[in-house]
Chain A
Amino acid sequence: MITLNVNNKTYNLDVAPDMPLLWAIRDYVDLTGTKFGCGIAQCGACTVHVNGSPVRSCSFPVAAAVGKNITTIEGLADNKIGQAVEKAWIELQVPQCGYCQSGQIMSATALLKNKPKPTDADIDAAMMGNLCRCGTYQRIRSAIHRAAEIINA
């Protein structure tokens, strides 16, 4: 049994300890906002927060998450920065297919937590690990600036 704390709820899961956190979240905790894109920490679609830091859950064994606070996109609205990011995303109509966007939003939220007023260079550094095949990057950048405005208002 693996005990996980996801979005402030406790789950006891009968899964292999080497199962990536991604599959435990999707297949067992039953939260599907976190996506599978590459499985090798290259695309960022699976980004969640572990104790507040962005982590690629496809390359993070579930056993390593025991005793830590995991936040997924579904748990983001409980937090002021997460709300601001989601609001900015909707306001600027960022998503196209939308598949990468949970990961983008998780990375953007982590960035804004550390840097409430990120520069373009900060955005590049924090968001480079999140691929978007639809090419929504221009709007992602604008939405992060917009979220910063909302947070700092």
Chain B
Amino acid sequence: MSESTTTKLHRRQFLKLSGFTGTGLMLGLSLKANGESVIEKITRSYLDKERLETIAANADAYNLTPFVIIEPSGTITIMNPRPEIGQGVFQSVPSLIAEELEVPLDGVTILQTGGQKKYGNGQFAGGSSSVRTSYIQMRQIGAAAKDMLIAAAAQQWGVPVAECYADNAKIIHKPSGKTVGYGAVAEAASKLEVPKNPALKDPKDFKILGKRYPRPDVPLKSTGKAIFGIDVKVPGMVYASIERCPVFGGKLVKYDDTAAKKVKGVIGVETCERDINGHHSVGVAVLAENYWAALQGRKALKVTWDYDGHESFNSNSFAESLRQAAKEEGAIDHEQGNFDKAFADAPVKLEAFYETPVVSHSAIEPMNCICSWYDNNKIEIWASTQVPGRIMDQFTKKYNVPEENITIHVLFSGGGFGRRLYPDYVEEALELSKKVGKPVKSIWTREDDTKMGPFRPMTFSAFKGALDANGNPVAFQHKVIAPTLDGNKNYDKTKTNKTMTEGISEQKYEIPNMKNLFVFHYMPVPLAAWRAVTSTTLAFAHECFLDEMAVAAKKDPMDFRMAMLTKPSDTKTLMQKLREVSKWDTPLPKGWGRGVAQWEFFAGLAGYVIEVSKKGNGIKIEKAYAVIDLGTVVNPDTVEAQVQGAAVMALGAAIKNGITFNNGQTVQSNYNNNPIIRINEMPPVEVHIIANGGPVIKGVGEPGLPPFAPALCNAIYAATGKRIRKLPFDINNIV
């Protein structure tokens, strides 16, 4: 018996002894570390390290594709490359495989991949891309595995493949009624060639896809059993809390850790670096036996910073500089017809300026990570992250180690919203582990999370629009004034930036003369993508200004838009659906108003009609009707939840104060002064899904966000006559 077989057997025995059944939970498994028994919480089905190792050790025998692993017992494991951050991919993505593999989803174990190359470059959660970019590919993986299992069974029985089919994890020989479970033929199947173009199921035969299928993570998340990054414990780990320079751009001069080291439980103080989107800084970390001690030690630190002139930055003067920058011509983002002439010649001209704030991601699970640097050049990471693929790629290069030396355990994320696309918090913990020679668990406080960014930038928008004598739009210009997300100070101002002008030149409205522009203006704080990225501010400005044009044209805002949508398009279909589900053409009670907006961008397409009523000096949101166009839907229940969630996030960014800077520092610190929407502020959101098929599949997580604020502000105009051109605004004090 070779040594590796011994290991395999040993591991399998271990699994048996520990009562691991392949699904459900395995709690409180005792492991020996340093001669002490510790409870390792990480040994649950979601990210069972032993199990990952077992699978790796058995990979040759049972791997049908890297994503489908079937053991002789019949236990089926599906590897999920997409991190679950609340968007439902723990169900939707494995479903794509399970559907074609002919297995019920609740019978399989789902494990997260950890950035290994063999799982491809889709190992991230971002851009609402999980389902739309892997819908066919993941189904093919399931179908290929199923075909291999059928072929192996047919071979074993000596019957033609065509006489066999698969159902419920079994292969059935139609003429004789013979059946065999997947486990019994898994080994034989794994030796067959993986078919290149397996036939996919007819959607009418789907058992999981397109259905309101329960998400397997929901029971865990409804009983406190789901394991997030912050919940992991590993033997011998220490806790870290890091003091960073409050002024962006400031430098560490020196620190005195005498008092910090006297705090009971504190075991050391080390510096660590942070790199985030063009911003480099050095912080001081207090390491301790427990997190509370680390926090107390951090309070006792005396750190001297050199603010280096950066303390003069503040939001008010930055906003003023953006207003000044708006006077620059800017780089052309898109041009059609002859805007300048059409605008000059038109009888009716409009100009308006829109402003939006900086906002924070504020996921309720603060940034945190456990990193272990061991054996000189090996790395193990436990993290709530959106980007295991990026971490693997970046770390193999940065630390010059092969992929085999890096193990990444992807946990459930307590919210992502774009923040967890950036592994700065992982790098900090890894550097600390390297320095102290122990696994380090770094947890940001809420104050760290709020103050240190990265943030969604503010964008300002300058508009010009013109109508002909009949009120038809003839010229349109959206000029965006903004920084870029990458923190590049020396951005080439002759070039547009499609991330910062996201969607403004891609709407389906037919306007003969258009010239959209981008003016770059540097902002000296760390910036980042936020759920639905720049569409979250640009859609507000764009769709509100179109409403201003409709008002100037004395036309109904829905009719005005429809008149610019003469050609067939998904946008046109969406608007028709919005009109219908919101009963747009029926009158509202006195004091009410309704507004409409839609937005199409890289992630997808959605729109709202929102109804508001006057309430004292403010307004009340009576109802929001959302329509999202997907082409194809995998789980309508998830889609509804995502759109409702996006509406809440959009509402918060529209009416809560957002992030401001003074003396080079973030003014807000926690949820008390950087509030988010609470349950009593949640408007009812009714979600409608368009899924008419077709080759294009659109995203779910983000498109529900951008059109919410403009539909709301357009409704407020309809109800009150007050045009809102600046976010945030006070919903209780409109007039």
Question: Which A residues form the contact surface with B (CB < 8 A)?
Answer: 15-16, 19-20, 23, 26-28, 30-40, 42-43, 45, 72-74, 76-77, 86, 89-90, 93-102, 105, 123-124, 127-128, 130-141
Task: State whether B224 touches A33 (Cβ < 8 A).
Answer: yes
Listed A/B pairs (16) with beta-carbon separation below 8 Å: A28-B290, A30-B39, A37-B366, A40-B446, A42-B672, A89-B218, A90-B219, A97-B221, A99-B415, A128-B680, A132-B364, A133-B363, A134-B645, A135-B645, A137-B679, A141-B682
Task: State whether B217 touches A133 (Cβ < 8 A).
Answer: no
Chain B's closest residue to A144 (CB) is B679
User: Which A residues are CB-close (under 8 A) to B473?
Assistant: none
In the complex, what distance in Å separates the CA atom of A138 from the CA atom of B641? 9
Instruction: Enumerate the 3 nearest inter-chain pairs by beta-carbon distance, A residue then B residue, closest first.
Output: A33-B224, A135-B648, A99-B414
Task: State whether B679 touches A127 (Cβ < 8 A).
Answer: yes
Interface residues of B in 671-693 (CB under 8 A from A): 671-672, 676-680, 682, 684-685
Task: State whether A39 touches B446 (Cβ < 8 A).
Answer: yes
Return A107 CB to nearest CB of chain B, in Å.
10
- Checking B218, B364, B443 against A99 with a beta-carbon cut-off of 8 angstroms, the contacting residue is B364
Task: State whether A16 touches B671 (Cβ < 8 A).
Answer: no
Besides A16-B265, A20-B292, A95-B86, 10 other CB < 8 A contacts?
Answer: A23-B291, A26-B231, A30-B233, A31-B224, A32-B41, A38-B671, A40-B670, A74-B224, A98-B226, A131-B364
Chain B's closest residue to A141 (CB) is B679
Question: Which B residues form the contact surface with A (CB < 8 A)?
Answer: 39, 41, 84-88, 214-215, 217-228, 230-231, 233, 239, 264-265, 290-293, 296, 362-366, 412-417, 443, 445-446, 637, 641-642, 644-649, 670-672, 676-680, 682, 684-685
Question: With A99-B228, A135-B645, A138-B684 in contact, do A37 and B87 touch (Cβ < 8 Å)?
Answer: no
Task: State whether B641 touches A93 (Cβ < 8 A).
Answer: yes
Task: State whether A133 touches B649 (Cβ < 8 A).
Answer: yes
Task: State whether A101 touches B222 (Cβ < 8 A).
Answer: yes
Chain A's closest residue to B213 (CB) is A93
In the complex, what distance in Å separates the CA atom of A77 from the CA atom of B225? 12
Task: State whether B365 touches A37 (Cβ < 8 A).
Answer: yes
Return B658 CB to nearest CB of chain A, in Å.
15
Task: State whether B364 touches A43 (Cβ < 8 A).
Answer: yes
Task: State whether A96 touches B87 (Cβ < 8 A).
Answer: yes
Return A92 CB to nearest CB of chain B, in Å.
9
Task: State whether B679 touches A86 (Cβ < 8 A).
Answer: no
User: Which A residues are CB-close (under 8 A) to B679?
Assistant: 123-124, 127-128, 130, 132, 137, 140-141
User: Which A residues are CB-close (under 8 A) to B685?
Assistant: 138
User: Which B residues are CB-close (under 8 A) to A30?
Assistant: 39, 41, 233
In the complex, what distance in Å separates the CA atom of A144 from the CA atom of B224? 18
Question: With A72-B224, A137-B648 in contact, do A93 and B215 touch (Cβ < 8 Å)?
Answer: yes
User: Which B residues are CB-close (under 8 A) to A134?
Assistant: 86, 415, 645, 648
User: Which A residues are CB-close (under 8 A) to B296?
Assistant: 16
User: Which B residues are CB-close (under 8 A) to A72?
Assistant: 224
Task: State whether B445 touches A33 (Cβ < 8 A).
Answer: no
Question: With A37-B364, A98-B412, A133-B415 in contact, do A42 and B670 touch (Cβ < 8 Å)?
Answer: yes
User: Which A residues are CB-close (under 8 A) to B417?
Assistant: 133
User: Which A residues are CB-close (under 8 A) to B293?
Assistant: 16
- Checking A73, A76, A90, A96 against B645 with a beta-carbon cut-off of 8 angstroms, the contacting residue is A96
Chain B's closest residue to A20 (CB) is B292
Return B626 CB to nearest CB of chain A, in Å.
12
Task: State whether B678 touches A131 (Cβ < 8 A).
Answer: yes
User: Which B residues are CB-close (under 8 A) to A133?
Assistant: 362-364, 415, 417, 649, 676
In the complex, what distance in Å separates the CA atom of A10 from the CA atom of B334? 68
In the complex, what distance in Å separates the CA atom of A123 from the CA atom of B365? 24
Question: With A131-B678, A134-B415 in contact, do A95 and B222 touch (Cβ < 8 Å)?
Answer: yes
Chain B's closest residue to A40 (CB) is B670
User: Which B residues are CB-close (under 8 A) to A124?
Assistant: 679-680
In the complex, what distance in Å separates the CA atom of A31 from the CA atom of B417? 27
Chain A's closest residue to B233 (CB) is A30
In the complex, what distance in Å separates the CA atom of A106 from the CA atom of B700? 30
Task: State whether A86 touches B223 (Cβ < 8 A).
Answer: yes
- Checking A36, A90, A94, A140 against B230 with a beta-carbon cut-off of 8 angstroms, the contacting residue is A36
Task: State whether A16 touches B86 (Cβ < 8 A).
Answer: no
Q: Most B CB atoms within 10 A — which of A16, A40, A99, A135?
A: A135
In the complex, what distance in Å separates the CA atom of A134 from the CA atom of B676? 11
User: Which A residues are CB-close (under 8 A) to B215?
Assistant: 93
Task: State whether B264 touches A135 (Cβ < 8 A).
Answer: no
Q: Most A CB atoms within 10 A — which of B222, B291, B446, B642?
A: B222
Return B447 CB to nearest CB of chain A, in Å.
8
Return B364 CB to nearest CB of chain A, in Å.
5
Return A75 CB to nearest CB of chain B, in Å.
9
Task: State whether B647 touches A135 (Cβ < 8 A).
Answer: yes
Return B668 CB to nearest CB of chain A, in Å.
12
Task: State whether B220 touches A98 (Cβ < 8 A).
Answer: yes
Task: State whether A97 touches B412 (Cβ < 8 A).
Answer: yes
Chain A's closest residue to B414 (CB) is A99
Task: State whether A38 touches B670 (Cβ < 8 A).
Answer: yes
User: Which A residues are CB-close (under 8 A) to B671?
Assistant: 37-38, 40, 42-43, 131
User: Which B residues are CB-close (under 8 A) to A74?
Assistant: 223-224
Task: State whether B446 touches A135 (Cβ < 8 A).
Answer: no
In the complex, what distance in Å separates the CA atom of A39 from the CA atom of B214? 33
In the complex, what distance in Å separates the CA atom of A20 from the CA atom of B292? 8
Chain B's closest residue to A105 (CB) is B222
Question: With A23-B291, A33-B223, A86-B222 in contact, do A100 and B364 touch (Cβ < 8 Å)?
Answer: yes
Q: Most A CB atoms within 10 A — which of B645, B646, B647?
A: B645
